Structure 1
Amino acid sequence: MTEHVWSYQPTSGHVAGTDLTGYKVEATDGSIGKVDKHSDEVGDAYLVVDTGVWIFGKEVLLPASTVVRVDPEDQKVFVDRTKEQIKNAPEFHRDKHLGDAGYWEELGTYYGTGAGTYYGTGAPFDGRPS
């Protein structure tokens, strides 16, 4: 895993500016859905994945560091987590969580990076509102 959860791994093949919307997302043990929204901002990169019926129509947010490979030819993104790990991740609600520092910290912790960062800054999250 990369040192920074909100950055793409240099070996992923992701090219900044590439629109990943609509790409299929593959966990280590099978398909989990399609990219509904993404950001490739340095230090704040993520994917919002529409899981369709797999998790009863929910969306999940995956930090960019979970992406191990992008296949532009087949329009697929491969992540280094199992379906179960993704299913058990902190629940994502678009209206509530985009910009919610506590949620971003929770995700950073869940995905194994400790304190996480505050969304929108790329800076370590220190628990204080901006």
Structure 2
Amino acid sequence: MQPVPFVPWAWRDPSWANEPEHDEAELARRPDTGLIGYHVEATDGGIGKIDEDNAKVPNDCLMVDTGPWIFGHKVVLPVGTVQRIDHDERKVYVDRTKEQIKNAPEYDPDNHEDYRQRTGDYYTESYRALPPML
């Protein structure tokens, strides 16, 4: 039996969107907008927060402001990396390490298609090499 392939651009568990505090019409358009300001936790610690510029990237990505962690860069994570979301703690847990996120392709808003391809390839390969911890 083949393992389920990783799809970087699809939520693995969209059940978090059923939280009552979220406006359903807004979630249908942009399910990630309710996450702005949430802290993002890699498997080995915090990496930053969902940035207010999140709406500038496609809704199958999350824009994360890493603050001083990698010199104030913003990184874009495919939503497929999200393991779970804790609304009480306002945290998004991803199943990649800080190093894997740091080494991801740099976001290029001027070359969206090339960036998407490189990012998709990078994360797909990272899941092939190191499957998510369950």
TM-score, normalised to structure 2's length? 0.70
**Secondary structure of 2:40's aligned partner:** strand
Query: Which residue of structure 1 aligns with residue 105 of structure 2?
Result: 90
Q: Which amino acid aligns with 2:7?
A: H
Judged with a 3 Å threshold, the aligned counterparts in structure 2 of structure 1 residues 2 and 46 are, in CA distance, closer, same or farther, namely: farther
What is the deviation of 1:44?
A: 4.8
Query: Which residue of structure 2 aligns with residue 121 of structure 1?
Result: none
Per-residue CA deviation, residues 84-111 of structure 1 (Å, 9 max, x unaligned), is 0000000124x435xx101100000000
The answer on whether the counterparts of 1:49 and 1:62 sit within 8 Å (CA) in structure 2 is: yes
Q: Which of 81, 95, 116 is 1:104 aligned to?
A: 116
Calculate percent identity across the aligned residue pairs. 47
Query: Which residue of structure 1 aligns with residue 16 of structure 2?
Result: 14
Q: Which of 71, 90, 94 is 1:79 aligned to?
A: 94
Gaps of 5+ in 1: 114-130
1-structure distance, mates of 2:35, 2:5: 20
2-structure distance, mates of 1:51, 1:71: 19
Q: Which of 4, 7, 12 is 1:4 aligned to?
A: 7
* Aligned length, in residue pairs: 106
Query: Which residue of structure 1 aligns with residue 23 of structure 2?
Result: none
Q: Which amino acid aligns with 1:112?
A: T
**Secondary structure of 1:105's aligned partner:** helix
Judged with a 3 Å threshold, the aligned counterparts in structure 2 of structure 1 residues 5 and 38 are, in CA distance, closer, same or farther, namely: same
Give the ranges of 4+ consecutive aligned residues of structure 1 lying more than 4 Å apart after TM superposition. Answer: none
Measured on the aligned residues, the alpha-carbon RMSD in Å equals 2.2
Query: Which residue of structure 2 aligns with residue 62 of structure 1?
Result: 77
1-structure distance, mates of 2:90, 2:100: 23
**Secondary structure of 2:93's aligned partner:** strand
Larger Cα-atom Rg? 2
Q: Which amino acid aligns with 2:75?
A: V
TM-score, normalised to structure 1's length? 0.72
Query: Which residue of structure 2 aligns with residue 29 of structure 1?
Result: 44
